[in-house]
Structure formats: C-alpha cells, structure tokens
C-alpha cells in the first residue's frame, strides 16, 4: 500500500522522511552550502533510520532527486501475544495482522500507534 515518491533534495526539511541506502529515515538536520564558481549548491542531510535507529548521511546537489517514503500512520489494538509477535487489529478497517514485538511491553486490549513504510509494519508507541 505505502510506496515512495520522487522529490528534490531542496524540499527536505527536519521531520520529513527520506530513503537513504534503501532504508527509510526521518530527517534530523539539513545543511546547504552556497553555490561555488564551478558548481551547484550542495545539501548535507543527516537522518535516522525509522526502524533501525541508525544514523545516515546524504550529500547531493540541492536540485538532484531523492526518494521519499510514503508513511502511513494508523491506530490499532493488540489482540494477542503470539510469542515473538503481537497480533494487531486496525481500528479503522478491522483488519488483523502480525507485527514484531517492540522494545516496550504491551498488553492484550491495549491501543497502539503503528506505522507502515515500504511494506514494513512496526508499532511506534502504546496509548
């Protein structure tokens, strides 16, 4: 369902999402340099992986293209603890699916916020 779109590097701002090395990331900082005598302005984008937490850097001219993931944030409810995974139900569509357990504990019946990015679903926080 969620895919990616093409955007220009100059459109990236803090808090937006970008794909660096095939990893969806949230932009933490954007620095731009002025154009030089023989070159275009460059942007240095610092980002953190949404699911991995790994720090990533992107250095490109501001008028070049980059990929931005389509982030789908939704609400769900924990139906069952399946050992290594939780079974979730989407509170809008009532669809059920399994998701890897996050680093924090959840209980059956608890509402959560989850996100789907590039086909990967992860629980972001409990409510």
- pLDDT grade for 1, boundaries at 50, 70 and 90: very low
The predicted structure's pLDDT at residue 77: 94
Residues 30 and 85 grouped into a single domain: no
Residue 48 in this model has a pLDDT that exceeds 70: yes
Residues 82 and 63 grouped into a single domain: no
Residues 63 and 119 grouped into a single domain: no
| Nearest to 51, CA basis, from 106, 99, 95, 3 | 99
Token pair for 14: 């803090």
| Nearest to 89, CA basis, from 64, 51, 123 | 123
Q: How far apart are CA 108 and CA 111, in angstroms?
A: 9
The predicted structure's pLDDT at residue 2: 59
Residues 63 and 108 grouped into a single domain: no
* Chain CA centroid to CA 35, Å: 30
The enclosing domain of 49 has a CATH number of: 2.30.30.30
Domain count, the chain: 2
Residues 65 and 10 grouped into a single domain: yes
pTM of the model: 0.80
Whether the Cβ atoms of residue 115 and residue 74 lie closer than 8 Å to each other: yes
The predicted structure's pLDDT at residue 127: 83
- Region 1-21 average pLDDT: 88
Token pair for 95: 């669809």
Residues 54 and 14 grouped into a single domain: yes
Residues 63 and 35 grouped into a single domain: yes
Residues 78 and 54 grouped into a single domain: no
Residues 77 and 94 grouped into a single domain: yes
- Comparison of pLDDT for 38 and 78, the residue scoring more: 78
Residues 30 and 79 grouped into a single domain: no
Tell me phi and psi for residue 10, to 5 degrees. Answer: -65, -15
**What are the tens digits of pLDDT across the range 14-26?**
999 999 999 999 9
Q: Which domain holds residue 53?
A: 4-69
């Amino acid at each position: 369902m969620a895919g990616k779109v093409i955007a220009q590097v100059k459109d990236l701002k803090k808090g937006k999402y970008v794909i660096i090395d095939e990893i969806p990331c949230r932009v933490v900082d954007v620095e731009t340099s002025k154009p030089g005598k023989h070159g275009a302005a460059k942007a240095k984008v610092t980002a953190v992986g949404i699911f991995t937490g790994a720090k990533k850097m992107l250095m490109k001219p501001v008028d070049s293209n980059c990929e931005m993931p389509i982030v789908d944030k939704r609400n769900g409810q924990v139906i069952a603890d399946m050992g290594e995974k939780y079974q979730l139900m989407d509170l809008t569509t009532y669809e059920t699916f399994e998701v890897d357990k996050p680093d924090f504990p959840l209980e059956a019946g608890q509402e959560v916020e989850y996100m789907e990015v590039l086909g990967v679903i992860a629980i972001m926080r409990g409510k």
